[in-house]
Amino acid sequence: MSEAPKANAVVGQSGGPTGTINASLAGVIEEVCKHPEIENLYGSIHAVQGVVNENFVDLKNLSISVLEGMAGCSSAALGSSRDKPDEEYCAKILDVFKKRNIRYFFYIGGNDSANTANIVNIMAAEVGYEMRAFHIPKTIDNDLLVTDHCPGYGTAAKFVACALMGDDLDNRALPGIKVDVIMGRHAGFLAAASVLGKQRDDDGPHLVYFPERAVSMDKFLGDVEGVYTKLGRCVVAVSEGIIDTDGITWAEKLAEQKETDAHGNVQLSGTGALADFLTGQIKGKLGAKRVRADTFGYLQRSFVGFQSSVDADEARRCGREAVKFSMNEQSGSVAIKRTGNGDNYAVELVSTELRNVAEKSKTMPDEFINSEGNGVTDAFVEYAMPLTGGLPKTYFLGNYPKV
Amino acid sequence: MSEAPKANAVVGQSGGPTGTINASLAGVIEEVCKHPEIENLYGSIHAVQGVVNENFVDLKNLSISVLEGMAGCSSAALGSSRDKPDEEYCAKILDVFKKRNIRYFFYIGGNDSANTANIVNIMAAEVGYEMRAFHIPKTIDNDLLVTDHCPGYGTAAKFVACALMGDDLDNRALPGIKVDVIMGRHAGFLAAASVLGKQRDDDGPHLVYFPERAVSMDKFLGDVEGVYTKLGRCVVAVSEGIIDTDGITWAEKLAEQKETDAHGNVQLSGTGALADFLTGQIKGKLGAKRVRADTFGYLQRSFVGFQSSVDADEARRCGREAVKFSMNEQSGSVAIKRTGNGDNYAVELVSTELRNVAEKSKTMPDEFINSEGNGVTDAFVEYAMPLTGGLPKTYFLGNYPKV
């Protein structure tokens, strides 16, 4: 391995923003400032779009107060993009890198971003341009390979858990059937997080459905009816990626206009159609009176002022570690390795090859989903709870002794 | 005025839960414990339902840790009810009061709850049953008369402001058109709160629509197009009670099944239909590519761990004050009177007659709405900002100087 080159660096944020993607950016900035090998740190506005358009801001001269404020603020402070660069796009990126003497590329994003870093890195090697490319993981879906969990997930999980805690209290106060639709196209980690705030035996959500387990409408309605009959109320958390027994997502069956993004995905978020469809089914089949649904939508990734302290800390460390790795390695993706659990929860950061993360994704392991496919196991709670940084207690007096 | 009777008290929580209705309950409990005139304090489970069914819990022996935890927790710890008692129902309430020697009635709720307290109070006077009835205001809609603002509103306003701050950052990161539907059947106070976190000239929401100002679809689409053309993105906050120029709410026009509650109201919350309708219109007429909508739904009133400190403090004071008033007055509704603004924001609590609050409601005054009917005035911001207890700063680097 040759010495770290004296050159400029670029950092970008890609894909859907999260609650802690700016913490990772702050980590990159503060660590870069410790390494004289890196002369300028360019922040690329709107990810790869900013690179090809040379839309750069200087990040080495931010004030500490902006750095710290930004680290605590949700969304992508540099802007993001859904562009999925092909070879031609990556060639343009490489041209700008050469022109600006950029030899460090830090890219915060999901598996598409790891792929972009990988392509640029391979193209640079082919033409003999010395550079270092590092991917810093972020997703609220928690679906990246190698890493134990993704920065961004803990904060989204905290939001969803607190939302369900409040919603379950609301449903205790005014009983009925409530359906909450939660983000997660292929992976149910975020829907699963809905259970993390449960404190009483009869706390909701009473049922949780994941993209990993196909469920028929009959099974779904039967489950809801069972809980409603027993408790006189029912709170259900449903992943937006919930799938029918024929393997087609319910949202897809519903979509009148199958709007797709650049990656060929059907729009799931930003619409209440699935939630309204489910309440319609429940009203029709069960004759229950008070049936409501909410689709949490973009709040799950964008809500300000509500980070998980653990997630914010880890996201920042991932940013710092990417820069440290780049001093000694040629490329890689930062991954979190869990070294302790429960009260001894701890992690260390490692690097893995870009191709191990690029374009791949994972779903919930079987051990996290109950045998009925409508709830989680203790193993999931043990896995996810530390990532929230802790949840508030809830209070309901209705089950106190009567006088 | 005769001396305060030595007797029992009952407290209940009615209508839609809020983030601070438990703070008011805590205020009632702690103040009652200071007055030996009140022997037992019964918490009525599910509001008036709990009274007629004698479903009571003892509130004088709660632990301090439960009292404080509950005060900081959203939703109605006693449960709630949408029952609207008629004379017969109120006669049953009075029967239980007589049987249990209940002569203090503290009822935390909206204008329907003030009405219930008023009816029971009048019936008691008619039969010569000495009792004292006090209403403690709560709504997230902020639509009660006399009081400067309602406990519960500040916390919901903080939630909506933080949601829009995050959503606007998200829309900066991935530009497009975003519509957020916000609670508020007849009053636009909560939709108006969407602007409170704006910090840059081009921060969203760029347009806000209220039930108080009828708007045609043409005007709405023209407004959106204007902002989108200028900024390349647009964030819109729409009250669920938005009304067409013919005086009919858009939601009502949409509702295939006009489900109504006990008060004859069409269901507005718990459905994404209005949001999806608006995005459909925008996509169809403007040809914009990335159009999304979220309906914030019940999160606005139920989300845990996110109280406004000012709201929580005032809600608790209102509970305490109701008990204090009951020692010297026969009946009333607690009202907040603003005695200072801006940095000198301060309030004092007064009592007003139940009939001044019962069954009445207010809407946003003209001075809070801009002349176009699509945004708020500085007067609104001055009014509402202190109630949030302060909002976090947001960060976006995309408008920094380029290098």
Tens-level pLDDT at each residue, chain A (403 residues): 689 999 999 999 999 999 999 999 999 999 999 999 999 999 999 999 999 999 999 999 999 999 999 999 999 999 999 999 998 999 999 999 999 999 999 999 999 999 999 999 999 999 999 999 999 999 999 999 999 999 999 999 999 999 999 999 999 999 999 999 999 989 999 999 999 999 999 999 999 999 999 999 999 999 999 999 999 999 999 999 999 999 998 888 776 444 554 445 555 566 788 888 899 899 988 888 899 999 999 999 999 999 999 999 999 999 999 999 999 999 999 999 999 999 999 999 999 999 999 999 999 999 999 999 999 999 999 999 999 999 999 999 999 999 9
Active-site residue among A112, A141, A167, A203?
Answer: A141
* B227 and B188 within one domain: yes
Mean pLDDT value of segment B24-31:
98
Residues B354-362, mean pLDDT to the nearest whole number: 96
Counted domains in chain A:
2
Is residue B264 domain-shared with residue B140, that is, in the same domain?
Answer: no
In a domain, A2, yes or no: no
A-chain residues near B74 (CB < 8 A): 166, 169-170
Q: Do A174 and B80 touch (CB under 8 A)?
A: yes
Average pLDDT over residues B187-196: 98
Chain A partners within 8 Å of B62 (Cβ): 397
Tell me if B225 is assigned to some domain.
yes
Measured between CB atoms, does B178 come within 8 Å of chain A?
yes
Residue A90: what pLDDT?
94
Nearest CA in chain A to B261: A290
CB contacts under 8 A, B 288-327 vs A, are: 291-299, 301-306
* CB of A277 less than 8 A from some CB of B: no
Residue numbers in A near B169 (CB within 8 A): 17, 73-76, 302, 304
Domain co-membership, A12 together with A104:
yes
Using the beta-carbon criterion (under 8 Å), do A167 and B46 form an inter-chain contact? no
- 3-class SS at A10? strand
Q: What does DSSP assign to residue B203? A: P
CB contact under 8 A, B57 and A392: no
Whether residue A42 lies inside any domain: the answer is: yes
Does the active-site annotation cover B141? yes
One domain, residues A209 and A318 = no
Tell whether A68 is within 8 A of chain B (Cβ).
no
pLDDT of residue A265: 53
The number of C-beta contacts closer than 8 angstroms across A and B is 249
* Chain A CA closest to residue B394: A73
Judge whether A398 is closer than 8 Å to chain B, CB to CB. yes
A275 to chain B, minimum CA–CA distance in Å? 7
- Mean pLDDT, all residues of chain B: 94
> What whole-number distance in Å separates Cα of residue B246 and Cα of residue B106?
41
Give mean pLDDT, residues B203-227: 97
8 Å CB contact between B79 and B17:
no
Subunit contact A305:B397, Cβ cutoff 8 A: no
Closest chain B residue to the Cα of A167, Cα to Cα: B302
Q: Which of A167, A212, A168, A173 is nearest to B25 (CA)?
A: A173
Q: Which two tokens stand for residue A376?
A: 């989680």
- Percentage helix, strand, coil, to 5, in chain B? 40, 20, 40
Exposure string for B5-36, b = 16+ CB within 10 A, e = fewer: eebbbbbbbbbbbbbbbbbbbbbbbbbbbebe
Question: Token pair of A92, please?
Answer: 């343009």
Which chain A residues are closer than 8 Å to B76 by Cβ? 169, 173
**Contact between residue B171 and residue B214 where contact means Cβ atoms under 8 Å apart:** no
Q: A28 is in which domain, residue-wise?
A: 7-151+305-357
- With CA atoms as reference, the chain B residue closest to A177 would be B270
Q: Helices A21-32 and A64-71, interaxial angle, to 10°? A: 150
**What is the C-alpha to C-alpha distance for residues B158 and B164, in angstroms, rounded to an integer?**
10
Is residue A335 in some structural domain? Answer: yes
Q: What is the CATH number of the domain that holds B77?
A: 3.40.50.450
Q: What is the pLDDT of residue B361?
A: 95
Annotated active-site residue in B58, B86, B112, B141: B141
Q: Say if residue B259's pLDDT is above 70.
A: no
Distance CA A183, CA A211 (A): 11
Position A402 in a domain? no
Handedness of CA A205, B152, B131, B88 (dihedral sign): negative
CB contact under 8 A, A298 and B170: yes
B166 and A74 in contact by Cβ < 8 A? yes
Residue A130 lies in a domain: yes
Write down the pLDDT at residue B1.
65
Residue A393 forms part of a structural domain: no
The whole-number pLDDT of residue A45 equals 98
- Does the CB of A172 have a partner CB in chain B at under 8 Å? yes
Q: Which residue of B has its CA nearest to A67?
A: B395
CB B167 within 8 A of CB B31: no
Q: Do A173 and B17 touch (CB under 8 A)?
A: yes
Q: Are residues B269 and B381 in the same domain?
A: yes
Q: Does A138 touch chain B (CB under 8 A)?
A: no
DSSP A293: E
CB spacing of A306 vs B162 below 8 angstroms:
yes
Does a structural domain hold residue A143? Answer: yes
B275 touches chain A (CB under 8 A): yes
Interface membership of A64 toward B (CB under 8 Å)? no
pLDDT, tens only, B92-123 = 999 999 999 999 999 999 999 999 999 999 99
Statement to judge: residues A64 and A95 lie in one domain: yes
Same domain, A230 and A97: no
What CA–CA distance (Å, rounded) separates A176 from A235? 8
Among candidates B16, B43, B295 on the partner chain, residue whose Cβ is nearest the Cβ of A397: B43
Six-digit token pair at B378? 């500085």
Mark whether B109 and B27 lie in a shared domain.
yes
| pLDDT confidence tier of residue B257, bands split at 50, 70 and 90 | very low
Q: Do B17 and A162 touch (CB under 8 A)?
A: no
Do A331 and A353 contact (CB within 8 A), yes or no?
Answer: yes
First CA to last CA distance, chain A: 77
Nearest CB neighbour to B392, from listed A40, A82, A305 = A305
Question: Are B142 and B268 found together in one domain?
Answer: no
Contacts of B275 in chain A (CB under 8 A): 271-272
Q: How high is the ipTM of this complex?
A: 0.95
- Band the pLDDT of B258: cuts 50, 70, 90: very low
Same domain, B176 and B267: yes
pLDDT of residue B261 exceeding 60, the answer is no
B64 contact A CB<8A: no
For residues B300 and B190, state if they share a domain: yes
Question: Which CATH number do you get for residue B254?
Answer: 3.40.50.460
Do B348 and B239 share a structural domain? no
